[in-house]
Amino acid sequence: MIADHYRLFARYNAWANRRLYDACLALPTGEAVRQRPSFFGSIVATLNHLLVADRIWFGRIEGVDYGARRLDEVLYANLEHLYAAREDFDAHIIAVTEAWDDRRVMQPLRYTNLAGDVFEQPLQVVLAHVFNHQTHHRGQVHDMLSQCEGAAPPPPLDLIFYYREVSAT
């Protein structure tokens, strides 16, 4: 049951990312990289942060080094390339979570953060953090989209919209 919860969130996460990126790609030229009052400074920088953070966390979970060293790292300045990398990693997240059972999700995860501090926490808490973190920063991008000149209204990203969509099919 618990593993099913995180599989649902992995699929929802990919759905919400696709909707958000599609809205960003529809922006007038320059809007996605325009500096705005936000924590990371622009839509593209915030979307980069999300991919960096996911690579860091799933690297810890899988014992793989995805090469991310800073939370503000810009992996891709080009939105189309960033979107392609996001879709690839979302598919990876789905594949990883599909392989887990409840026992795996309940196990502790021991990891070292970027500052070199060691922690041990239940994987289910780490996963809750990862998906909550995505929602938090997608909300920031959603807000920035609403501020863009000549942009369509940002798409709904709530979990219930995802659930209604997949339940209807």
Kindly state the tokens that stand for 163.
């659930």
Reported as a single tens digit per residue, the pLDDT across 3-48 is 999 999 999 999 999 999 999 999 999 999 999 989 999 999 999 9
Q: Return d(Cα 160, Cα 40) in angstroms, integer.
A: 28
Reported as a single tens digit per residue, the pLDDT across 136-157 is 999 999 999 999 888 888 999 9
Q: Return d(Cα 57, Cα 138) in angstroms, integer.
A: 17
Give the global pTM: 0.95
Domains, the chain, with CATH or none: 2-168 (1.20.120.450)
What backbone torsions phi and psi does residue 112 show, to the nearest 5 degrees? Answer: -115, 130
The residue behind tokens 């790609």 is: 25
CA dihedral sign of residues 45, 50, 53, 54: negative
